Structure 1
């Protein structure tokens, strides 16, 4: 969303605030409070509505209500001089000297700052990014390189989504004020937002050297470790954070949840379960913790668990994402009990709530597919033969989610010459840098831009990929895996910059694949096509269409592996993959479940067990409710193996 969009969105908010002020000044205080209640329902984090509410309560002679409103205002926005002033006066009248002194100190601090800096800070706190930026830029034009103002501008640009500009501004701030720790923490956050995990961890480490027990620094360091796939240090970090004093139930629950996730990924399931349970003891309605247990795949919920989850999910005050988590957990719990109708009802409800905030539109993805096919022709590649970096180290395992890519990665990573990393986002980022990114599907916008890529630029991108993935290669093996399923969109770019890389497409039968996606909750904004049966079916067809195109314009470039074939003949499938990778067969690949390594995906526990046919036909239990998926898949049901 641009600053212009944000400004437009806030017009109604400001109009309501003005209406409340007019009513108050006119002496119609109850009417003003009614307008403010409407404003709070729409914008609960708008600090100035609480300040205005305090004015109303003062007019009504209700000092306790005014104090409560003022505390809410300064908690959301500590740069409101009028709120601190009223808070000081009311606290003195109530005999609360400590509160009055604290308010006076805050007010004094604000009075020492430039008026424009206070104003811009206040606007930023309320989400008024456009006005905040205009105020602070105007001040900087007059005040020069004030590091505090530059830091504030960086925060505004970061909130506006301009993370690269924010990074540049923060670098300038730290060059002039290297001990400005608040700016350095923001710098680490901006680096992390751009998935520059190693430098983000270095910045957090710098801060921890100054203050080893700072909780914000520890959390930032932990977040960078997660991005790097380095889970071993996390347990100790979370232990330190849990040892803090006076932790809220919500913070305890979150820390236990994060610790459980790290334990799960590193293969310590029993300890992970204990931490998920501890999170739920702290906060029984913590949907993410319930879903964490369900997402172990091997966990079975008790009768009491299901009663507790149902009670939590039925609460009208539950946040949407907690409801989504609980619905998917309940769907899994009832599926395990063969209560398929009830299970599907919860899966469908979870998908419906999640779909409300999804941006994915199948027609947009299909338009991106058409653009890809129009640019990446056989002639395009023939004219660019020999481009890129001739390094065979990368092995790309791609396809649709829930198709068996984690299994293939685990098999390959059990080979002595191959290292598993994680689902790397680099190729998608390069495509976005070169072509722009469609906000509704995350795919490249201007594919034509790749026609202007030079041989040197293509080689440089290949070198950059090898350099940036080095962080994830801790075993120094000759080959490594990038298991990002969505890279099937970018096979043309991969071939252009890394022509000797290995590419393996793992494909699963469409009904099984579709159902597995529909019952899987993915993180953040990932795989948004998976929350609607119609979108899922169309996405599968788009995938088939594009893979056939790659086969046509790059014949023999991609090895297709069918999940059902791997389950039916693992040794034959492994032999075939090894030949394609140019590697000798090793028996360890057949004993993949014995390989100890971190696995981040939902299949982490499944690939730690011997291969089985358990999931192949699960969708048939839900056949009565999957007709929309079957209709959307259409001819793909019969042609997916072609």
Structure 2
């Protein structure tokens, strides 16, 4: 939002505070015509709705608010305003639900919590009342600057929230609440190294603050630092041995380090005590799926759906096995749940992607695409993603990482890592399974360690990646050794190991600077097949480019340009493996892969589908089967809907 837009909004807000409701309503459309940023348009439309309500026109306000939450489905303040409008119309049940929605998307809305408190008292909802009163007590205990910063955070105004929080910390050094809030802002801004430092410091300073410990444990898991997360969870359990939330967090971290038997046993113990926990059933399903027990995983996901028929993650998890087929009754259940008036946004998104997969399996391409499109549109509205920034970041890698930089000696010369990079859904899990079937190679997972090192370099004196060339030999050696040590916990003793984080293609310059002997394999797939497969996939986190056909097409082009650059400045050091070539000539491509990694041929790599190991990506079940060809042409039944993708890629095909 630029200064002019902020000035216009301030004028509207001033008129609103002065009860000039007719002025606000009259001027709002003119102001909206001149605004360009989504945030500014959202605020102006909100002001108009408030003016309608305060001028005694709640019906007009509700009309505008419905469109507002359609365009901004995670805007808590709009739901709060809906609640006030329904109250004015005497619709208490709708008002209560609107206030509940408001607190889900912005838990700092004290007024909405207070309205819920009254509603829960009236309806004698004891448990809900206790939760509301706990949140009210917490919010009212916060200093006003921190309450304001929390509100700004959940309202999506991250930089303003950061500014307020930092100002408060300057005057109140080491305040625990401020440190935790600033860490949460850092996570939203993806400044994970700062967030980790803040939470680690907070836990050290306040060892009895379990909220800080919980936030730190959650961040460690998010960053893929599962050994540290396990340690943190076990420490917390010493003080709270029966805390179900901590036990569930420990089980999640145990899955991360590959201790699947212990994790599964812990999940089953928790569910024996409290079976009506659909999220825990899904978590158990994920652990069983990672262990290769597809039947058990499906049973767990189905149990989650039985416990909560509108729990979208249960259905998406079934769809995400890639082998499960929905029957007509379950499809009907999903349709009913998806169109329910009280379905949560996150559940709605999951249901849309699951219905897309179910209808695609039934050869109903048009109906399937409509659900894929709806799911992607809903997901994209919750993100603040701009593809041009990503394109600029990839262009910066090309500018900063030129051939002379790699002529410098230095770095850690351990030959252990084999990086598999590329776009999601490009066949990287298949390549990992092939290599991990070799007796000298450990398969791990999508490790976050290179991304973490890149993030730490981004906040040093000279902006990353332009500071890569200025790293000393000693710094490169230390960073490379840091990577080797951090990843040791995921290995099982083989001389080599795989890091299959697809987004590492962005950081090949960093990898070769600190680990010059690392092997890098680029998993490549037909552009249309790859992009559409990504568009159909609801990712757990990240991959924000995948929720628009145009964005994913632009991302593919930027990826291809950057990979061409890496091949120019690092000739012969990256192996591109085309997914279609692996399907057409498995043995030949296996030999090519092994030769590049300087590994002797082993038949187990060709028979990869019989290898038993932990796999946590969406392709886990597909790579436990022999090579199949159906994925090469799946997109063709959707060709009529892929115009935006073809336009970006510059191709249209009638294959």
Give the TM-score taking structure 1 as reference length.
0.78
Q: What is aligned with 1:220?
A: 249
TM-aligned CA distance change 1:30 to 1:564, over 3 Å = closer
Aligned ranges for residues 448-597 of structure 1 at < 5 Å?
448-473=466-491, 475-526=492-543, 528-597=544-613
Q: Distance in 2 between matches of 1:163 and 1:495?
A: 23
Match of 1:309 among 334, 337, 350: 334
Q: Does 1:325 align with 2:343?
A: no
Tell me if the contact between 2:165 and 2:181 (Cα under 8 Å) persists in the aligned partners.
yes
TM-aligned CA distance change 1:11 to 1:174, over 3 Å = farther
TM-aligned CA distance change 1:487 to 1:17, over 3 Å = same
Q: Distance in 1 between matches of 2:483 and 2:529?
A: 34
Aligned residues: 594
Residues 15-58 of structure 1 deviation map (CA, whole Å, 9 limit, x = unaligned): 899789x9xxxxxx997996999999989867xx89x98xx99x
Which has the larger Rg? Answer: 1
Q: Distance in 1 between matches of 2:560 and 2:489?
A: 33
Q: What is aligned with 1:202?
A: 231
Residues 99-121 of structure 1 deviation map (CA, whole Å, 9 limit, x = unaligned): 9xx99x999x99xx9x9866567
Tell me if the contact between 1:541 and 1:636 (Cα under 8 Å) persists in the aligned partners.
no
Alpha-carbon distance, 1:132 to partner = 7.6
Q: What is aligned with 1:25?
A: none
Q: Does 1:279 align with 2:304?
A: yes
Q: What is aligned with 2:50?
A: none
Residues 489-509 of structure 1 deviation map (CA, whole Å, 9 limit, x = unaligned): 222221111111111112112
Q: What is aligned with 1:441?
A: none
Tell me if the contact between 1:388 and 1:459 (Cα under 8 Å) persists in the aligned partners.
yes
- 2:466 is paired with a residue of what secondary structure? helix
Give the TM-score taking structure 2 as reference length.
0.77
- 2:418 is paired with a residue of what secondary structure? strand
Aligned ranges for residues 133-532 of structure 1 at < 5 Å?
133=165, 137=169, 140=172, 150-161=175-186, 168=197, 174-175=203-204, 178-244=207-273, 252-382=277-407, 384=408, 386-435=409-458, 446-473=464-491, 475-526=492-543, 528-532=544-548
Q: Distance in 1 between matches of 2:236 and 2:393?
A: 43
Structure 1 portions without partners, runs of 5+: 23-28, 58-62, 438-443
Q: Distance in 1 between matches of 2:630 and 2:506?
A: 30
- 1:421 is paired with a residue of what secondary structure? coil
Q: Distance in 1 between matches of 2:394 and 2:170?
A: 44
Q: Distance in 2 between matches of 1:192 and 1:17?
A: 45
Structure 2 portions without partners, runs of 5+: 22-52, 154-160
RMSD (Å) for aligned C-alpha atoms: 4.8
Q: Distance in 2 between matches of 1:117 and 1:262?
A: 39
Residues 57-77 of structure 1 deviation map (CA, whole Å, 9 limit, x = unaligned): 9xxxxx999999999999998
TM-aligned CA distance change 1:456 to 1:566, over 3 Å = same
Q: Distance in 2 between matches of 1:32 and 1:122?
A: 30
- 1:447 is paired with a residue of what secondary structure? coil
Q: What is aligned with 2:624?
A: 608
Residues 207-239 of structure 1 deviation map (CA, whole Å, 9 limit, x = unaligned): 112222112221332343344354333222222
- 1:628 is paired with a residue of what secondary structure? helix
Aligned ranges for residues 24-63 of structure 1 at < 5 Å?
none
Alpha-carbon distance, 1:346 to partner = 1.9
Q: Distance in 2 between matches of 1:71 and 1:353?
A: 20
